[in-house]
Chains A and B, each alone.
Chain A
Amino acid sequence: MRLCAVFPSTHQALRLDSLLREESIPHSLIPTPRWISEACGVAVAFDESHREKAVELAAREGVQLTGIFPLEPERGCSQAPPDLPGGGSG
């Protein structure tokens, strides 16, 4: 199963991205699923087998993590809060 780490800011996402790249841990930057968070538009996705290492790196380097969520296959289905007009970030 793929997991999705979300952050309070893009900068924090990029910090974990940088650490995972240094450790050659496969991952990707993805648009944050709307049902998970609206704080930051960029999230870091990786296989659950890398969860422990990612959490360890984040803790060691003080990366601010909002949380780690499972990436559901049906996440494209809209669960956006009703008060949002939709549209892009920023």
Chain B
Amino acid sequence: MREPGAGRVPAGQRSVYADHAATSWPKPAAVVHAMVEYLEQAGANPGRSAHRRAVASARAVFAARQAVARLLGVRDESRIVFGPNATWAINLALYGLLEPGDRVVTSAMEHNAVARPLHDLSRRGVEVTRVRCTPEGYLDLDDLRRALRRAARGQASVDSPGDGAGCSTPGVARGVARGGARHPMCLLVLTHASNVTGTILPVVEAARLAHEHGALILVDAAQTAGCLPLDVTAMDLDLVAFTGHKGLLGPQGTGGLYIRDGLTPRPLVRGGTGSFSHLEEQPLVLPDLYESGTLNGVGLAGLGAAVEYVAGVGVDRIRQHEVELTRRLLRGLEAIPGVRVYGPRQAEERVAVVSFNVLADGAAGAGGAPPAAARAVARPAGSAGEGGVVDPALVAELLDSEFGVMVRAGLHCAPWAHRTVGSYPQGTVRISLGYSNTPEEVDYIVSAVAAIASRLRRARQGGGCGECTGSHR
């Protein structure tokens, strides 16, 4: 899977890709091959015509659907609907199911893919309760139980109290097929793992609690599909949003939603499906109901090959490798003076995502939450003054320009998670590893962070930045 020297790293300079939580790279050769083959050998419109190229195209999409269904433990693959990404899938679930008066419980670790639609829906009469999490990103199940109980009783939000009616029972057909009066719906929306700290949330226990309180559960699996074992049937999940281009190792522009049998969200988009063309109404059959317009055939051909690759390696094996890398990375970063690591200390409690900051003063390392770091969160980004942290963007830039280490800095589209862990508004430097990374690469990343931290802190203490060869801020 390796292609050294790609990207904008100069020839001869070493590079390490450590931004897998944004998009995995490189993709397995089989993915590239499948996409080229699709364009050359198929390349027609899947599900429309029935000539040989269209048939080859439709078969490629079908194979991708089968592969994803198998990997996620879905028996009926028509319950997997494809779209461009996990954000689309989350929007389909939220806007397709929720109506004014409905109640949502969510966590304080969510990505904007969840937080922004819920913010919008809260202005349209949906009651949203955000359950706080610990500074490591853990969700307390007792807090969750209380929030679900309040939501079920119609006391979801102190700002907009409900009408006191109980929540409806999950499993009842909703949305399109619904008729007559309805009880308010309760929906629990949880990320499976944080894209900031990697913290894994207890979705199985959460699903059980949700169902006990008459609520449904939507899981955002953007950071976990392909990285953690995920069996939606065994885990009793109702809706699962996934993306193709992260842990599943597929191309960008692919993703989708698993919808449990009996749930029928209203579609976000209506239009041509290649079926029931004589009807003005959107066909109710799956996956057509949610797949209007031409699908990303070439992307899905790549996704199918990617998922077969992941299944061939085995998610358990991928997980084991990523835990070992993460443990090594945590150990290395925690030993660097003046570096604060966020999130769980145990690699087993995260996906391979590690956020850190370089403290601008003091020797406060990873242990606990030092006062310096606590003060730092109130400082504007880039100030890096006494008690603050060095601008994560500067650290990320130096990692790339001087060491060829590619990471992501900032808020990672998840301001709530940064508020929770105490890194708002400046954010963090995020290292995210993938199956293609090696222990030796992790050691190189650690040595690069150590060199940068040492230099920046020396420069800060000296009052200038005379040694820095990167951008001066």
Residue A30 CB within 8 A of the other chain:
yes
Determine whether the beta carbon of A41 is less than 8 Å from that of B58. Answer: no
Pick from A15, A42, A83, A90: contact of B277, CB under 8 Å: A90
Instruction: Tell me which of B62, B273, B285 contacts A14 (CB under 8 A).
Output: B62
**Binary CB contact string for chain A from 55 to 75 against chain B (1 if under 8 A, 0 otherwise):** 000000010000000000000
Nearest opposing residue in chain A for B55, CB measure: A29
Q: Does chain B have a CB within 8 A of A11? A: yes
* CB-nearest residue of chain B to A9: B285
Tell me whether B70 is interfacial, beta carbon within 8 Å: no
Question: Which one of A11, A29, A38 contacts B50 once the chains associate, using CB atoms below 8 Å?
Answer: A29
Q: Which residues of A contact B273 (CB under 8 A)?
A: 90
B residues less than 8 Å from A18 (CB atoms): 59, 62, 66
How distant is the Cα of A15 from the Cα of B61 in the complex, in angstroms?
Answer: 12
Q: Are B277 and A41 in contact (CB under 8 A)?
A: yes
A11 to B287, Cβ gap below 8 A?
A: yes
Q: A10-B288, A89-B275 are in contact. Are A41 and B50 (CB under 8 A)?
A: yes
B-contact 0/1 string along A16-54, CB 8 Å cutoff: 011000000000011110000011111100000000000
Are B275 and A41 neighbours in the complex by a CB distance under 8 Å?
Answer: yes
Interface size on A (CB < 8 Å)?
A: 26
Interface string of B275-290 (1 = CB under 8 A from A): 1111000010111100
Residues of A within 8 A of B277 (CB): 38, 41, 88-90
Interfacial residues of chain A within 69-86, with CB under 8 A of chain B in the complex: 81, 83-84
A10 with B47: CB separation less than 8 A: yes
On chain B, which size bracket covers the interface?
20 to 34
In the complex, B272 has a CB within 8 A of chain A:
yes
Considering the chains assembled together, what is the distance between the CA atoms of A12 and B77 in angstroms?
10
For A31, what are the chain B residues with a Cβ–Cβ distance below 8 Å?
Answer: 49-50
With A and B bound together, what is the CA distance between A38 and B276 in angstroms? 6
> Contact between A43 and B276 (Cβ–Cβ < 8 Å)?
no
Proximity string of chain B (27-62) to chain A, C-beta cutoff 8 Å, 1 when within and 0 when not: 000000000000000000001111000010011001
Is B274 among interface residues, defined by CB-CB distance under 8 A? Answer: yes
Query: Is B157 an interface residue, CB under 8 A from the partner?
Result: no
Which of B49, B59, B62, B65 meets A41, CB within 8 Å?
Answer: B49
Let me know if B78 is at the binding interface, CB within 8 A: yes
Taking CB atoms, residues of chain A closer than 8 Å to B272 are: 90
Which B residues touch A14, using CB under 8 A?
58-59, 62
| 25 A-B residue pairs with CB within 8 Å | A8-B285, A9-B283, A9-B285, A9-B288, A10-B288, A11-B65, A11-B78, A11-B285, A11-B288, A14-B58, A14-B59, A15-B62, A18-B59, A18-B66, A29-B55, A30-B50, A31-B49, A39-B283, A40-B275, A40-B276, A41-B274, A41-B275, A89-B48, A89-B274, A90-B274
